[in-house]
Structure 1
């Protein structure tokens, strides 16, 4: 939904009324100037047309993320009609739950989704990355998003879950059909709904198969995870696997593109990153231009904040992308600076719902980017042909045409 802005002229200056909508394509292209005005002028902003309250300051976003009693997750993380409501856990699994239901589910999933399991993947992930990159680097010109970033994270999740090699192209195609959608209306197109249904069917069959024959993979770990006599049901396991399509694929894909674009825009930081500071490159990208810009919550009671009253049942957008540019927390926040202290970044959320896959996301980015810079001395980006995704809560690129200079 794009709402026209009202403008008034004061002397020789034109003042544009403050406006924020997560659906506005212009704001999605560059939300950060709007975030700055929100933090300064209206830290609790009401958009009646979209029926949302937007919270933009770091302290307030962090407080709400930690306050699951008043800021509930049961209606989901996204406000589009296709995702929002009491059935949100169909898309978001335990991420769209509150305690005690969330406590049980996250506890069981975390028994399978361990740091040890993630770290053990690194050698195999490097093989996968090199396999995708080799023909691209030999060609010299490619689209970072379509030719690499869209493929690599999908294969990572398939490797983690235990999807057989023969099925990985199918899973990749279905995942892309879900992720690339026109969100102007907030509705999922029929092909996305069909893809979700086919993924549910595929993962259900794979779960049944793996129940009869365990392997050293996440799916087997989910089947074996227990707390006393309590285990995840097959339906719950499939829900977790569907969650990984968005949480484990889309955000990782967008992170790679945002890091690439930030390096292009900041030559000094690019030189440092390509000289070996890949981890700093990733962490500053997560702060400076995170793939997840907003997390939705619903209030369980009236909440007073900065002179505004968010009513019970209010739909709240916690603008983590704005919080990560808050000058009260990060000095000179609009500069891309490798090595700064990013410990307060909210790129992976906070509180009970702090991203369980944060270590996997960082590992994917480190493997992908380090493999690229090992073979590439520098690159050029054709920004005129770059394309952004349109999303109410995610930020990144669908296309980044790139030409590389080999080492």
Structure 2
């Protein structure tokens, strides 16, 4: 059931697709649930049940070459920057289990008061700037908080955090038409890795109570993480933990603005914030496209996908599948989502940072809504990020109404 239809095109690098991928996804689900793009060299799965099965099939659909379509990010070297996300079992299970000894739910819980403080500091500055009119929510808040939280977790000194955040932004930035990792991003990556190497070396001499030290101490039956493995995980946090949470915060604000009837009850009942976060994760997830590599061969829809081919899983499409959700194109805070959410994947590679992302988003939006009674996004001036796998805003100017 692949499609020869010439006018049905999925190009993850196309700017029109970035502006609104959902009409493309609908056509894929209806006309080509197994889609093949021979020019760009990938297959794609778009229906909820197929994407979920894809996430859970970690034997035939391998992670070992990474999860990005970008050529420079793919290949046997992918685990150097993507850690266990670019590995299969048993290597994946070993590394994930060791990392989990340091990156515990308890550590995330204990971090919450500091996350609240960091959010409050950024909000104070944003509110002050907003008194003069429009303020960029991404520049002042959504783009700063997640990386600062990761730095807090890792033990990066406060005075270094602006620089570390700038490098992290540099790692992710792509100019128009660029389909591969540009030299500036490679330079930013090297700067970050050198910085983290020095940090790990310092902790080897003197342990502290941060995650970097906990990773150095993590041990199972005499097996420990190497410095390279720790660096790989720290880099994964920058890419996967920073970028996606920034996008989540901005997407939540944007769709809240577009659906005032849904957001109005949140002002008087802050317990609804987690529901707002979940519906944002479903309706317009940060992480839209994840790549896998076929190991052996895979037969779907009477078509055999050969060994070594790339299959894209499209959780962004799965969440708008009317086969899984009623009125999927409506933004409804409080709808029943449960285990149908695929923003954090599923199965063996379920996102280790899901707790952290949800906690950050809850704290950030709750603290913001304690202080305002309304906001308006300047849609005409909003700028989307152009990326082959994440969706969100580079700039989201807004005006705030204060309590």
Partner of 1:309 in structure 2? Answer: 304
The normalised TM-score by structure 2 is 0.96
**Contact 1:153/1:364 (8 A) holds in 2:** yes
The answer for the alignment partner of 1:169 in structure 2 is: 162
Q: Alpha-carbon deviation of 1:176? A: 1.0
Q: Cα distance, 1:340 vs. partner?
A: 1.0
| 2:386 matches 1:394 | no
Instruction: Describe how 1:178-197 pairs up with structure 2 within 5 A.
Output: 178-182=171-175, 184-197=177-190
2:356 aligned to which of 342, 360, 371: 360
What is the CA distance between 1:274 and its match in structure 2? 2.6
For 1:177 and 1:60, how far apart are their aligned partners in 2? 34
Report deviation, 1:183.
Answer: 6.3
Matches within 5 A, 1:208-223: 208-223=201-216
Which secondary structure state, in structure 1, belongs to the residue aligned with residue 69 of structure 2?
coil
Is 1:373 the counterpart of 2:358 in the alignment? Answer: no
- 1:83 corresponds to 2:78: no
Choose which of 40, 44, 64 in structure 2 pairs with 1:54.
Answer: 44
Q: Counterpart in 2 of 1:288?
A: 283
Per-residue displacement from partner, 1:64-108 (whole Å, max 9, x unpaired)? Answer: 111111000001010111101111112211100000000100000
In 1, are the aligned partners of 2:125 and 2:140 still within 8 Å (CA)?
no
SS of aligned partner of 1:380: strand
- Alpha-carbon shift at residue 138 of structure 1 (Å): 2.5
Question: 1 CA distance for matches of 2:265 and 2:316?
Answer: 24
Deviation at 1:342, TM superposition (A): 1.4
Following TM superposition, by how much is the alpha carbon of 1:215 offset from its aligned partner in structure 2, in angstroms? 1.4
CA contact (8 A) 2:146 2:360 kept: yes
Cα deviation, 1:182-228, whole Å, max 9, x if unaligned, reads 26332222111111101111101100101121111111110111111
For residue 64 of structure 1, give the secondary structure of its aligned residue in structure 2.
Answer: helix
Q: Distance in 2 between matches of 1:219 and 1:403?
A: 39
Cα offset, 1:127, TM superposition? 0.7
Matched residue of 1:77: which SS? coil
Would you say 1:231 and 2:224 are equivalent positions? yes
Contact 2:80 2:228 in 1 (8 A): no
Candidates 330, 335, 341, aligned match of 2:336: 341
1:298-320 per-residue CA deviation (whole Å, 9 max, x = no partner) reads: 00022111122211111010001
Give structure 1 stretches of 5+ with no counterpart: 7-16
Deviation of 1:341 after TM superposition, in Å, equals 1.4
**Aligned counterparts of 1:324 and 1:379: Cα–Cα separation in 2:** 27
Provide Cα deviations, 1:231-255, integer angstroms capped at 9, x if missing partner: 0001110111011111110000000
What is the root-mean-square deviation in Å for CA atoms of aligned residues?
1.1
Count of matched residue positions in the alignment of Structure 1 and Structure 2: 393
Inter-partner Cα distance in structure 1 for 2:294 and 2:249: 33
Q: Which residue of 2 aligns with 1:122?
A: 112
Question: 1:58–1:320: 8 Å Cα contact kept in structure 2?
Answer: yes
TM-superposition CA deviations, 1:162-185 (whole Å, max 9, x none): 111121111111111112222633
Q: CA deviation at 1:112?
A: 0.6
Q: Given the alignment, which residue of 52, 58, 65 partners 2:55?
A: 65
The aligned runs of 1:204-283 (5 Å cut-off) are 204-275=197-268, 276=270, 277-283=272-278
Q: Which runs of 5+ in 2 are unaligned?
A: none
User: 2:293 matched to 1:298?
Assistant: yes
C-alpha distance in 2 between matches for 1:393 and 1:341: 26
The counterpart of 1:385, out of the listed 381, 393, 403, is: 381
- Residues of 2 paired with 1:75 and 1:112: CA distance? 26
In 2, distance between residues paired with 1:74 and 1:382?
42
Distance in 2 between residues matched to 1:308 and 1:260, nearest whole Å: 41
State the Cα distance separating 1:19 from its structure 2 match: 1.5
1:31 aligns with 2:24: no
Distance 1:317 1:28 in 2: 16
Cα deviation, 1:13-72, whole Å, max 9, x if unaligned, reads: xxxx22111111101110111111111110000011110101001111111111111000
Query: How many angstroms apart in 2 are the aligned matches of 1:226 and 1:326?
Result: 43
Match of 1:112 in 2: 102
CA contact (8 A) 1:251 1:291 kept: yes
Q: Secondary structure at the match of 1:120?
A: helix
3-state secondary structure, aligned to 2:71? coil
TM score, norm. by length of structure 1: 0.95
